[in-house]
Amino acid sequence: MTPRTIIPLTALTLVLGGCQHSAAASSPQDPMPQTPAPFASPPVLPGTPDIATLAARVKPAVVNITTVQEVRTPHSGFNAPDMPDIFKFFPHGPGGIQRFGGGEGNGDEVMKQQALGSGFLVDPQGHVVTNAHVIDGANVVKVKLADDREFRAKVVGKDDRLDIAVLELESAPHDLPSASLGQSEATRVGEYVVAIGNPFGLGNTVTMGIVSAKGRTIGAGPYDDFIQTDASINPGNSGGPLFNLRGQVVGINTAINPNGKGIGFAIPIDAVKQVLPQLLATGHVQRGRLGVVIQPMDADLAKALGLDRTHGALVEDVESGSPAETAGIKPGDVVMSVDGQGVP
């Protein structure tokens, strides 16, 4: 989950008093009259996207997610018998973490930790898609819509391998707005994209960028195939949608590179669409298994194997008793195509 971090920001307030200009002592003046705007509606320059209209259309389907996780820890017994419990003076604990239990030095202490995330509605019945890590370990999940309605939600399905979870709003109407799911495969590098989410608790934040790259590997697991974007993504954006200019979701914002700026990663929506029906129907995902360890082909490997191109995948290892072993696949084989489709 993405812990909520409160960053203290100093609010600058202008205090008018003491030293005054002579005009301040005069009688109040009439407000400045409103002058006509140069344009009846903001102009959209040729070749530039109308992000304001796009955001207005798609924001109703985007939600903010708040989770509460209870963490039990053994009572420390730090306070001496004649020493007051310091938590009595700080009932919400440090950093907004609330402490329960452990009274008089007995039993476990229960810390309630709040975390934030984003998501989007995928049907009028109130099913929400988000990242699995957003709701991982949560005891309470709350979802807030763009119109400020708030609902409790239950987890109806989760796929940790892809980092996808599906929530269902409790006691929600069945006429909710829902997002349109696009095709990430058809998305091109360089296309404009828009991210909407809940960074640092700032709900309905809209940022814009482009698709910087596709097929990125970031060490996130077996399904490591991400869209890279420079649209601003921050803690709290996890699980939120990445839209194309047609207003379709093409990715789910999931991770950032903490050492860079403008380097964010989204799960391709095509991968989500493959597992979504199973998550809605059964709550989990069943996948086919080959039982092989592969690595991509590079120029050195291709030359060593006598190949004239770098396409294909090299089989490093074969699991004993696996379907791959039964089919006769051996370490050192190069897979050139699967089901008639070439392996790049």
Asked about 22 being catalytic, the answer comes back as no
- The span from the CA of 318 to the CA of 263, in Å, is 35
The amino acid that residue 283 corresponds to is G
Q: Are 164 and 46 in contact (CB under 8 A)?
A: no
Other Cβ atoms within 10 Å of 95 Cβ, number: 11
Asked about 133 being catalytic, the answer comes back as yes
Please identify which of the residues 127, 133, 159, 230 carries the catalytic annotation: 133
What is the per-residue burial (b if ≥16 Cβ within 10 Å, else e) of 221-238? eebebbbbbbbbbbbbbb
Please identify which of the residues 163, 230, 232, 333 carries the catalytic annotation: 163
Asked about 238 being catalytic, the answer comes back as yes
- The span from the CA of 231 to the CA of 210, in Å, is 7
Q: Which residues sit opposite 210 in a β-bridge?
A: 192
Residue 54 CB burial class (10 angstroms; 0-12, 13-18, ≥19) = buried
Please give the angle made by the CA atoms of 188, 229 and 255, to the nearest 5 degrees: 130
The catalytic site residues sit at 133, 163, 238
